Structure formats: structure tokens, C-alpha cells
């Protein structure tokens, strides 16, 4: 039995009393007609009666639209379930519910470009973009694409498209040509917005050659619209086919009242793309109502985002966290947008930004927090972060040592919320809660309305044991389907092929004694030496404490009718993988995890391959060391790194 440990942070009674969740809990007690004394009782009620719960979320969050009389049809069948089948609403209408001079968007492009938009200015830009799109023939169901940085014009273009019932899809401009065509070539947008270049690491990045290739490879695009970033928009547009500047696109349209096309709850809103490391990316279609309702719930009930808060998440437009971030407008938050390297200005740029604009919520990746640990920067000592109430982390499991570092070096009184879900649901299965304690190494809770469980290999639920993360009841942000999958066969196989009528997410996880979760990595990357299943995150947790090592990657190598663990490490400049370091690594892994976790081989490499969103690709490396093909190199930010893992003599004996 797991021994209960004290929390690393406990919310104050004042914070609890002023939280959205406290107010929502009172509403829920009246609706369910029984006491709900703590979070876990509220969670249980939300999954036992999802129709009542999601109806309450609609009401509490003030969704603009026609709700209809029915909340959930066919709730016992995950594939047939339909939420709010009579509802009509518009996503942009809900995000643009405010007006006036208060701040809606702030943008920093590293330390080179800065801008601010009020709610009124944002609405005015959306109005003109909406008219430009209508003049271009955009109607409900058409696709509009952004090949853009995370900047205000990106948010405005998305809002204009969704105001008309069009479908928004985006990638960041650091995607390679093949990666962009693999995505947009499937979804066939009519309009595509792009920048005139962008900044990264203090350097101007020219994308003209890339845009020439996209123009040739995307015949569906009737017009490319160049957005100013470097200040060379006119010359940029003139050098490319079918391209005009943003100014020219909206020049003839005066500001007028916005129009909002209300659509069905499941009408497509976003198309997101899987990483595509095993073939062409899946095009995952997310619905209007499910995305909005789920994000409202997560922002308000879990993140405790209030009107006027300053919400930041370090993300690109090629990651689902961008979609999650922009929905913060629906809760009245001002979005703090950033584009470029998170370590610009000697690692200080994001904290300069956080102090100047007094972020209330700072969202980032576990990799960024680990990177901060390895540079000489202590935000708590060098910055005033008075307004900061929460730090969010996702992208990979946040190690227990990173929890310690955040509370010691960023701020003691914050809700550190490690969150986990993904592109598949454009939201989270497990996340934070401003009214619950934080335990080091744990995600605080399962999401309200999300019937998350852990199944063993026999398909039975387990507690305080590792297994498959599943969801046993429908939820609104399940994908509408996959693009170009009319019979739904690929969709069913992706999530329901393992267990009947049960969503299997592909994470290897555990529900703790506190009711929180620990994520050990992807199920398909689980190691299996001697028949014992090991999550790769269990090894990474032990390695992260070594100052000599910048990052690591563990895979299983088929060997002598079994599997052995191989650990690759990327070393800090000036460090070497000698016998002493290897011995210390093995001893720490043995002591901190188990003898089964100790790698049979530890190998230093110059680089570790990762996706464009920054996730390391264990399966691709596993394929390479076994001489098997990697099907889609365009999904990788640094595909050349895979060559470092081929035909290694250390793996031949």
C-alpha cells in the first residue's frame, strides 16, 4: 500500500472560498440535491450523471447560444453519444463577448516585436477579416488555414473563420515543407494565412522558399494572405504566387457589427493533426460546442481563470495548447501571446514578460522547466510575480524534482498543475485544481466529467497499480471524427480497438492514494525487460538530477528472446560519458526506481530526435536501432538526428 505523503502545497481557505470551483460546487449541490463535500465527491457525481453535470457547466459558464432541451442522447454508447443535440451556438461569439478598452491580447515576438490589442481593437480586426473572408467566398464548412506564429492576427483570423462556421486548421511556420503539405494537403484549405518571416533565437527566418513550395503543393488554396511580422510584407507578397498582404485583404472593408453563424454542437470547428511519426498525420476534427464547453470547464473550474486574468501558455500554432489557450477569451482572460525561443535574452525573456504584464497563469512544458533548472536563473529572486497564482505544465510528465524546483525557485504560493490529455481530445483527462493540495510528482485530479480509470491487461480497473489510462463514459470533446474517414473505421480503431465501448488513450498511468495520477509515458513506448512493464518516465525522473545530462531517451532493444533497456543521453558541453558517470547513473536508477530499470547499455549521442512540438520520439529511435523504417520523417523537427542511432556497435553485443 502506498504511504501517504504530505502535500508540497495547500491552498489557503481564502483562495478556496474565492474559486470558481467553490461557487460551482454550491450550484451542483442544489442540482444533485445532496452534499458534495469535496472535489472527489463532485467528480463522482459528474461522471455518474454526465448529462446533469454538463448542463450545469453550460449554465455556470454562461455559454451564449440556444441550449435546447436535451443534454445527452445515447449516453451508454460512447460512439453513438450526442451532447446537446438541439443546441445552436458560435465559438467566436462566445470568445468575443467582451468589448471596450480593456486588454484582450498582448504579443511579444522574443524581444523584437511587441503589441497590445484591446477587446474593441480585436473585434474591429475580426470584423474586417470576416468581411474579407466572405468576399473570398468562405462559407460554413470551408477550411481556413494558418501557417503562422502565435500572434494576434492568428487569433483574429481564427475568430473570423469560426464566426462564419468555417473550420480553422493551423501549423507553425517552423514546420518543414513535407510536414505542412502532409497536413494541409489532406484538409484542402481555401485560404492560408502566413507571416512574412519570423524571429527565432534573435535571427530573422526567411520562409519565401517554403511558401513557394506550399503554393505549388496546395492547389486548393485560392489565396495566401501575408501577415506583417518582420515588416517586409509587401515585398514578400509580391515574390509569391496567389499572395496578397493582410492590409490589402481587408483594405476595402470598414468596421461593422460582427455577424455570427450559429451552428450545431458538433459542427466542425478545428482540425488538429497527430504527430505523424508512424505515417501521414491523422486529421482530427473537433466540434464547436464540445471544444468550447470543455475549455470553459478546464479554465474556470480547474485553472480558476477569472475575467481580467492574464493567461499565458508557451505554445506554437502546431500544438493543441494553442487552441486551448485562445479559448481563454471566453472566460474574459487577456491572452499573453509569445513567439520565438523560450530561452531568448539569456533565458529571461518569458520572465521579463511575466513581470511586465503580471501573468496570473504561466503555462509551459515540462521540458522548459527542466531547462530552467540547468541555467543560472531564479525567477523568485529576480522578478516580482505578485499576480502569479498558477503554473501549468504539459507535453511530458513533470518529474517530482521539478515540483521541488518550481516551489523553491518560482513561487511558494502557487498551484503547480501538471496536466495531461492531448490533440485527440483537444483538452485534458487529468489536470490541476485550485482547491486541492499538490503532491510532488502527481497530477492533482481526474477532470470533472471525465470518467478516467486505469485498466490492467485483463481490462479490469485497478488502483495504485500501473496500467492503461481509459475513459469509460462519453465526454463532449471527443472528436467528431477523422477527416476523410467517412465510415469512421480509423477513428474506432484508434481509440476503441483495445476495449469495447471504452476509450483507450495510450498512456501508461496510475491512480494514486490521493486520487491523483502519475503518467509514466506512452503505452506503446513502455519497456518490457523480463516481462516487467516499465514506463520510460520512471527512468527519466532519475536521470534528470544529473547536471551533466541535458536530456535522455530510453527504448527497449530486442535481445536474446527478451528485451533490454537502452538509455541514450545528450551531454552538456564539456562533459563525457565515462565509466564513473555511467556507474552513478546505474546506481541512481537502481536506487530510485528498481534493478529492472537499470539500462543494459548507456550511450552518448549528440542529439535526440523530437517532434516539431518538442516531444522526444522513442518509437522512431526504436525502429532505427532495429533497422526498421521510420515512415514520416517530416513530422520531426530534427530528422537528421535519427542517423545517430543507426548501426551502433554498442548495440551489437
The CA distance from 233 to 172, in Å, is 18
First-last CA distance in the chain: 40
- Which residues on adjacent β-strands are paired with residue 193? 146, 225
The CA distance from 329 to 296, in Å, is 10
- pLDDT, position 460: 92
Tell me the chain's radius of gyration from C-alpha atoms. 24
CB contact at 8 A, 91 and 262 = no
Between 458 and 94, residue with greater pLDDT: 94
Of 367, 320, 357, nearest to 337 by C-alpha is 357
The CA distance from 508 to 526, in Å, is 8
Q: pLDDT per residue over 316-340, tens digit each? A: 999 999 999 999 999 999 999 999 9
Residue 302, C-beta contacts closer than 8 angstroms, at least 6 positions apart: 21, 417, 428, 431, 432, 433, 434, 445, 447, 448
The CA distance from 623 to 536, in Å, is 16
What's the burial of 651, exposed, middle or buried (CB within 10 Å: 0-12/13-18/19+)? middle
CB contact at 8 A, 538 and 510 = no
Q: In 3-state terms, what secondary structure has residue 630?
A: coil
Cell numbers placing 133: 473572408
The DSSP string of 48-94 is HSHHHHHHHHHHHTT--EE--S-SEESTT-TTT-EESTT-EE-HHHH
Looking at the chain, the domain(s) classified CATH 3.40.50.12780 span: 90-102+117-306
* Number of CB atoms found within 10 A of residue 187's CB: 18
Class of the CATH-defined domain 526-651: alpha beta
Q: What Cα–Cα distance (Å) separates residue 543 from each residue in 44, 100, 402, 531, 538?
A: 37, 50, 12, 23, 9
The CA distance from 344 to 525, in Å, is 32
H runs (alpha helix) in 285-436: 288-296, 320-326, 349-357, 366-373, 379-382, 400-409
**What is the average per-residue pLDDT within 83-109?**
98
Cell numbers placing 223: 489565396
CB contact at 8 A, 386 and 354 = no
* Number of CB atoms found within 10 A of residue 352's CB: 15
Residue 149, C-beta contacts closer than 8 angstroms, at least 6 positions apart: 109, 172, 173, 195, 198, 229, 316, 317, 339
Task: With a cut of 50, say whether residue 352 has pLDDT above it.
Answer: yes
- pLDDT, position 555: 92
Q: What share of the chain in percent tops pLDDT 70?
A: 98
The CA distance from 565 to 525, in Å, is 12
Of 528, 510, 539, 516, nearest to 446 by C-alpha is 516
Where is 553: in which H helix or E strand? strand 549-559
Q: pLDDT per residue over 616-651, tens digit each? A: 888 889 989 998 888 778 778 899 999 999 999 999
Where is 416: in which H helix or E strand? strand 415-418
CB contact at 8 A, 227 and 196 = yes
- pLDDT, position 317: 94
Lowest model confidence (mean pLDDT) among 192-206, 298-312, 541-555: 541-555
Between 120 and 279, residue with greater pLDDT: 120
Looking at the chain, the domain(s) classified CATH 3.30.300.30 span: 526-651
Domain 90-102+117-306 has CATH 3.40.50.12780: yes
pLDDT confidence band for 2 (50 / 70 / 90): very low
Where is 542: in which H helix or E strand? helix 536-543
Task: With a cut of 90, say whether residue 367 has pLDDT above it.
Answer: no
The CA distance from 131 to 174, in Å, is 29
- pLDDT, position 229: 96
Lowest model confidence (mean pLDDT) among 276-280, 281-285, 427-431: 276-280
**What is the average per-residue pLDDT within 59-73?**
98
Q: What is the average pLDDT score of the chain?
A: 93
The CA distance from 349 to 79, in Å, is 45
**What is the average per-residue pLDDT within 510-530?**
86
* Number of CB atoms found within 10 A of residue 370's CB: 20
CB contact at 8 A, 226 and 238 = no
pTM, 2 dp: 0.88
Residue 632, C-beta contacts closer than 8 angstroms, at least 6 positions apart: 182, 276, 277, 278, 279, 280, 281
Task: With a cut of 70, say whether residue 277 has pLDDT above it.
Answer: no
CB contact at 8 A, 292 and 262 = no
pLDDT confidence band for 586 (50 / 70 / 90): very high
**What is the average per-residue pLDDT within 345-369?**
95
Q: Which residue has the cell 533565437?
A: 201
Amino acid at each position: 500500500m502506498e504511504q501517504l505523503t504530505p502535500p508540497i502545497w495547500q491552498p489557503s481557505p481564502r483562495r478556496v472560498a474565492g474559486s470558481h470551483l467553490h461557487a460551482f460546487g454550491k450550484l451542483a449541490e442544489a442540482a444533485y440535491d445532496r452534499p458534495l463535500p469535496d472535489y472527489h465527491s463532485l467528480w463522482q457525481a459528474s461522471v455518474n450523471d454526465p448529462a446533469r453535470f454538463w448542463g450545469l457547466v453550460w449554465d455556470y459558464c454562461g455559454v451564449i447560444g440556444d441550449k435546447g432541451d436535451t443534454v445527452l442522447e445515447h449516453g451508454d454508447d460512447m460512439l453513438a453519444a450526442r451532447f446537446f443535440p438541439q443546441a445552436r451556438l458560435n465559438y467566436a461569439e462566445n470568445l468575443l463577448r467582451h468589448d471596450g478598452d480593456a486588454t484582450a491580447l498582448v504579443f511579444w515576438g522574443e524581444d523584437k516585436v511587441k503589441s497590445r490589442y484591446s477587446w474593441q481593437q480585436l473585434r474591429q480586426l475580426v470584423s474586417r477579416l470576416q468581411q474579407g473572408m466572405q468576399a473570398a467566398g468562405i462559407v460554413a464548412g470551408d477550411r481556413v488555414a494558418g501557417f503562422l506564429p502565435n500572434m494576434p492576427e492568428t487569433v483574429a483570423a481564427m475568430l473570423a473563420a469560426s464566426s462564419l462556421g468555417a473550420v480553422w486548421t493551423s501549423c507553425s511556420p517552423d514546420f518543414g515543407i513535407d510536414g505542412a503539405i502532409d497536413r494541409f494537403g489532406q484538409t484542402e484549405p481555401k485560404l492560408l494565412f502566413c507571416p512574412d518571416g519570423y524571429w527565432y533565437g534573435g535571427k530573422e527566418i526567411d520562409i519565401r522558399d517554403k511558401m513557394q513550395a506550399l503554393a505549388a503543393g496546395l492547389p486548393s488554396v485560392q489565396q495566401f494572405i501575408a501577415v506583417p511580422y518582420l515588416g517586409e510584407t509587401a515585398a514578400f507578397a509580391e515574390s509569391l504566387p496567389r499572395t496578397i498582404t493582410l492590409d490589402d485583404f481587408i483594405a476595402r472593408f470598414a468596421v461593422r457589427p460582427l455577424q455570427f453563424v450559429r451552428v450545431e454542437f458538433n459542427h466542425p470547428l478545428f482540425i488538429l493533426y497527430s504527430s505523424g511519426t508512424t505515417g501521414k498525420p491523422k486529421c482530427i476534427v473537433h466540434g464547436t460546442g464540445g471544444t468550447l464547453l470543455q475549455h470553459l470547464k478546464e479554465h474556470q473550474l480547474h485553472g480558476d481563470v477569472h475575467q481580467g486574468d492574464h493567461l499565458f501558455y508557451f505554445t506554437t500554432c502546431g500544438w493543441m495548447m494553442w487552441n486551448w489557450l485562445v479559448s481563454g477569451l471566453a472566460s474574459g482572460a487577456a491572452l499573453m501571446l509569445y513567439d520565438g525561443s523560450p530561452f531568448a535574452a539569456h533565458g529571461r525573456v518569458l520572465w521579463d514578460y511575466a513581470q511586465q504584464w503580471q501573468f496570473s497563469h504561466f503555462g509551459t512544458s515540462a521540458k522548459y522547466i527542466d531547462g530552467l533548472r540547468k541555467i543560472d536563473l531564479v525567477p523568485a529572486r529576480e522578478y516580482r510575480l505578485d499576480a502569479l497564482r498558477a503554473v501549468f505544465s504539459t507535453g511530458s510528465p513533470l518529474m517530482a524534482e521539478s515540483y521541488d524546483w518550481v516551489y523553491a525557485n518560482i513561487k511558494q504560493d502557487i498551484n503547480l498543475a501538471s496536466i495531461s490529455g492531448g490533440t485527440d481530445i483537444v483538452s485534458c483527462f487529468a489536470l490541476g485544481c485550485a482547491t486541492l493540495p499538490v503532491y510532488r510528482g502527481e497530477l492533482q485530479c481526474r477532470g470533472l466529467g471525465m470518467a478516467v480509470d486505469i485498466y490492467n491487461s485483463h481490462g479490469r480497473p485497478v488502483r495504485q497499480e500501473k496500467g492503461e489510462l481509459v475513459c469509460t463514459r462519453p465526454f463532449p470533446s471527443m472528436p467528431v471524427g477523422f477527416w476523410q474517414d467517412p465510415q469512421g473505421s480509423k477513428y474506432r480503431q484508434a481509440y476503441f480497438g483495445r476495449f469495447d465501448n471504452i476509450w483507450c488513450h495510450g498512456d501508461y498511468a496510475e491512480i494514486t492514494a490521493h486520487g491523483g495520477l502519475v503518467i509514466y509515458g506512452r503505452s506503446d513506448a513502455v519497456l518490457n525487460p523480463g516481462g516487467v512493464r516499465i514506463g520510460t518516465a520512471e527512468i527519466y525522473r532519475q536521470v534528470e538530477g544529473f547536471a551533466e545530462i541535458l536530456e535522455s531517451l530510453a527504448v527497449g532493444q530486442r535481445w536474446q528472446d527478451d528485451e533490454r533497456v537502452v538509455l541514450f543521453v545528450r551531454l552538456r558541453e564539456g562533459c563525457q560519458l565515462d565509466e564513473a558517470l555511467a556507474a552513478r547513473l546505474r546506481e541512481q536508477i537502481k536506487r530510485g526506481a528498481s534493478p529492472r530499470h537499470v539500462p543494459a547499455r548507456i550511450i552518448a549521442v549528440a542529439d535526440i530526435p523530437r517532434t516539431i512540438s518538442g516531444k522526444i520520439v522513442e518509437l522512431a529511435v526504436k525502429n532505427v536501432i532495429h533497422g526498421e523504417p521510420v515512415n514520416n520523417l517530416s513530422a520531426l523537427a530534427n530528422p537528421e538526428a535519427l542517423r545517430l542511432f543507426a548501426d551502433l556497435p554498442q548495440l551489437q553485443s
